[in-house]
């Protein structure tokens, strides 16, 4: 397996090192070779060279690798975040990674900030549309920097884009024997673009008679996630709303350090990353929680068909959480590296 590794910025570098440590251990235990190719793209590289990523970068990621692993991008020295847009969002767009798969799974009751919620109550997935919406940079600024400034940022919704993510959510539910899919939009206020979401959701739901479709406006969804997360199995929503509710979902799991994600185009080279960012104030201190990154590596293996290997990582993460061999954000005493060691050392063949 040939893997492109983009550690990126800040704690991205630290948590990526732990994910690779665990993957290397999985390779030893299961007799597999993971070949890592480190790509230096990130804020340091941009500030040194003026290049975010080379023009051939997207084609190389798509054609030369089985999967891509990325730490996080974002650095106060690049205030317009240009490198993150080109490397992270650019790869999502150029490789057409339309499924942003973000599981929300509580591993241990003590990690959940919600009252009286156990792992059985917090176990759902969010499918975030990943190639359209408000992220497409369509718009512009007129008279920028003056009191007459006009700033326009358009939201793109296409039938093709909405249909494929909604269908993916229903297919996922059907394949896993789940019975509920909830779509969240803001069609009460955004009557053009989100009317399309309404239409597509109704049409696709009609083709899955065993699955109960529900709809919430996004503001109500945020409330119900907190009040009654157990009602959710699969949530599907647009790019921006998915970004926001998955940070909320991360807090149910113990915080941003715990949450994993995949940017997927079924059957093609896909990209995996923790949900969190580069957390500049934590960078270089060996305190960041590596579990979001390590669990993202498990999602990567699962997606490329190494399900036993992925299960071994999930089991090792669960053991570390139960034994409290974890970082301080979730109540442990270990540093990033030591928490990574603990997980790597308990990788076993199932
Ligand atoms: P952030 O996720 O970096 O950090 C927010 C807070 O969450 C941190 O201060 C910390 O308290 C906690 N946190 C995050 N990751 C953690 C970890 N592994 N362990 C323990 N605690 C953790 O979000 P932010 O502060 O809004 O953004 C910082 C930078 O990261 C910005 O430049 C932003 O654009 C970027 N960002 C990048 C990605 C990505 O590359 N995928 C995702 C989100 C944010
Ligand atoms: C995420 C991040 C990115 C996003 C940022 C860094 C552009 O917050 O992956 O959740 O908004 O998609
Ligand atoms: Mn985000």
Verdict on whether the full-model pTM lies above 0.75: yes
Give the residue-averaged pLDDT of 168-197: 97
Give the number of the atom of ligand 1 that is nearest the alpha carbon of residue 292: 18
The answer to whether 1-98+270-350 and 113-253 have equal CATH topology is yes
pLDDT of residue 163: 98
* Candidate of 69, 83, 89 to mutate for ligand 2, largest count of ligand atoms within 8 Å of Cβ: 89
The percent of residues above 90 in pLDDT, for the chain, comes to 100
Express each pLDDT in 158-167 by its tens digit: 999 999 999 9
Domain extents for the chain?
1-98+270-350, 113-253
Query: Under CATH, which number does the domain 1-98+270-350 receive?
Result: 3.40.718.10
| 110-114: long-range pairs with CB below 8 Å, 24+ | 110/331, 111/253, 111/254, 111/255, 111/258, 111/321, 111/330, 111/331, 112/252, 112/253, 112/254, 113/251, 113/252, 114/226, 114/229, 114/252
pLDDT of residue 131: 98
Q: Which two tokens stand for residue 99?
A: 């499924």
- Tell me the CA–centroid distance for residue 306 and ligand 1, in Å: 29
| Among the bound ligands, the one closest to the CA of 331 | 1
- Tell me the CA–centroid distance for residue 244 and ligand 3, in Å: 6
| pLDDT above 90: residue 111 | yes
| Among the bound ligands, the one closest to the CA of 92 | 2
Give the number of the atom of ligand 2 that is nearest the alpha carbon of residue 72: 6
99-105 and 212-217 beta bridge pairing: unpaired
Please name the residue ranges forming H helices in the chain.
11-30, 43-49, 57-64, 82-84, 90-94, 159-175, 193-206, 218-227, 239-252, 291-303, 307-322, 336-345
Express each pLDDT in 245-255 by its tens digit: 999 999 999 99
Mean per-residue pLDDT of the chain: 98
pLDDT of residue 350: 78
pLDDT of residue 199: 98
Express each pLDDT in 264-314 by its tens digit: 999 999 999 999 999 999 999 999 999 999 999 999 999 999 999 999 999
Nearest alpha-carbon partner for 104 in 304, 255, 209: 255
pLDDT of residue 343: 98
**CB neighbour burial string for 315-350, b if at least 16 within 10 angstroms, e if fewer:** bbbeebbeeebbbebbebebbbebbbbbbbebbeee
Task: Assess whether the C-beta atom of 339 lies below 6 angstroms from ligand 1.
Answer: no
Give the residue-averaged pLDDT of 118-145: 98
Fold classification of 113-253 (topology level): Isopropylmalate Dehydrogenase (3.40.718)
In sequence order, the 6+-apart residues with CB closer than 8 A to the CB of 335 are 286, 287, 327
Give the number of the atom of ligand 2 that is nearest the alpha carbon of residue 246: 10
pLDDT of residue 306: 97
Give the number of the atom of ligand 1 that is nearest the alpha carbon of residue 276: 2
- Tell me the CA–centroid distance for residue 195 and ligand 1, in Å: 33
The strands making up 35-38's β-sheet, listed across from edge to edge, are 35-38, 2-8, 67-72, 270-274, 260-264, 99-105, 123-129, 234-237, 180-185, 212-217
Express each pLDDT in 186-243 by its tens digit: 999 999 999 999 999 999 999 999 999 999 999 999 999 999 999 999 999 999 999 9
Express each pLDDT in 20-62 by its tens digit: 999 999 999 999 999 999 999 999 999 999 999 999 999 999 9
pLDDT of residue 251: 98
């Amino acid at each position: 397996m040939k893997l492109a590794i983009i550690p990126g910025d800040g704690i991205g570098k630290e948590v990526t090192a732990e994910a690779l440590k665990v993957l290397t251990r999985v390779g030893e235990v299961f007799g597999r070779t993971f070949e890592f190719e480190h790509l230096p793209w990130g804020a340091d590289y941009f500030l040194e060279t003026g290049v975010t990523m080379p023009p051939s970068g997207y084609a190389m990621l798509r054609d030369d690798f089985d999967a891509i692993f990325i730490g996080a991008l974002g650095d106060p020295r690049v205030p317009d975040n240009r490198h993150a847009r080109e490397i992270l969002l650019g790869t999502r767009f150029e490789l057409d990674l339309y499924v942003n798969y973000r599981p929300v799974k509580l591993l241990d009751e003590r990690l959940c900030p919600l009252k009286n919620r156990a792992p059985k109550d917090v176990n759902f997935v969010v499918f975030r549309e990943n190639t359209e919406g408000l992220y497409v940079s369509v718009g512009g600024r007129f008279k920028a920097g003056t009191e007459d400034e006009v700033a326009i940022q358009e939201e793109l919704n296409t039938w093709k884009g909405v249909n494929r993510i909604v269908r993916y959510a229903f297919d996922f539910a059907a394949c896993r024997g789940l019975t509920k899919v909830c779509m969240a939009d803001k069609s009460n206020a955004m009557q053009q673009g989100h009317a399309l979401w309404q239409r597509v959701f109704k049409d696709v739901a009609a083709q899955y008679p065993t699955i109960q479709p529900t709809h919430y406006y996004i503001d109500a969804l945020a409330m119900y996630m907190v009040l009654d997360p157990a009602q959710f199995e699969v949530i599907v929503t647009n790019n921006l709303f998915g970004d926001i509710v998955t940070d909320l979902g991360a807090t149910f799991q113990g915080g941003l350090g715990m949450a994993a994600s995949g940017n997927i185009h079924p059957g093609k080279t896909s990209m995996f990353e923790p949900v969190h960012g580069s957390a500049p104030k934590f960078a270089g201190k060996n305190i960041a929680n590596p579990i979001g990154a390590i669990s993202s590596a498990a999602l990567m293996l699962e997606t490329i068909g190494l399900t036993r290997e992925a299960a071994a990582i999930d089991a090792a993460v669960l053991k570390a959480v139960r034994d409290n061999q974890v970082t301080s954000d979730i109540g442990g005493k270990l540093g990033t590296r030591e928490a990574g060691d603990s997980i790597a050392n308990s990788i076993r063949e199932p």
